[in-house]
Structure formats: structure tokens, C-alpha cells
Amino acid sequence: MRSDILFGAVEGDYDLLVNGGDFVIGPSDIQHVRHIIEAEQGNYKQHPLIGVGVRKMLGGCLGQLEKRIIRVQLKSDQYQPSELQVNETGIAVKL
């Protein structure tokens, strides 16, 4: 389990969490997975090939190819999802 500075828990909320005037640090695996799925390739300059770019997939077919892309990208950051569901309502990842 990784720890990092945490962002807001609401989807799309990228405000840093602050408590008592200091950053909140805690388990961040789910946060990292979310960032990998939302990021486009090239967003991270140190790791330009990481990122799924899920926003490009909106309104399109989310099939086996997209599922594989998500698995490969998560594996590149050493995450092994035990369950990955991709459907019309969203993406569910279980670590």
C-alpha cells in the first residue's frame, strides 16, 4: 500500500486535502489508479507512456481492447487489479 498527499474524494475534485494547516497524507492506491485511468499519455513528463485517456473513450464502445489497455497501464505502475469491470456506467477496479 502506497501513501501520498491526498486529493478530494469527490470525482473530479483535485483540491488537496488540508487538515490543521497541513497536507493530509494517507493510503493513495485508489487515487493513483484514478489518475492513471484519467491521464492522457504525455501528461506525466517523467513517464510519458503512462495514461489511459478515458475521456477519449466517452460515448464510444468500452470493450475488451479498452479493458486490456487499462490493465496494461495499471501493470506498468505495479498494480494488479483482482477485478476490472468496464461498462456503460463506468469503470470499477478492485485491487
The domain limits of the chain are 28-94
Which residue reads 492506491 in cell numbers? 29
pLDDT at 39: 94
pLDDT at 86: 83
Q: Which three cell numbers stand for residue 12?
A: 473530479
Total residue length of the chain: 95
**Cβ 93 vs Cβ 36: under 8 Å:** no
Would you say the pTM of this structure is higher than 0.75?
yes
What's the average pLDDT block by block, 10 residues per block, for the chain (95 residues)? 86 83 93 93 94 85 86 94 84 89
pLDDT at 11: 65
- DSSP label of 62: -
Dihedral angle sign, alpha carbons of residues 35, 90, 84, 64? negative
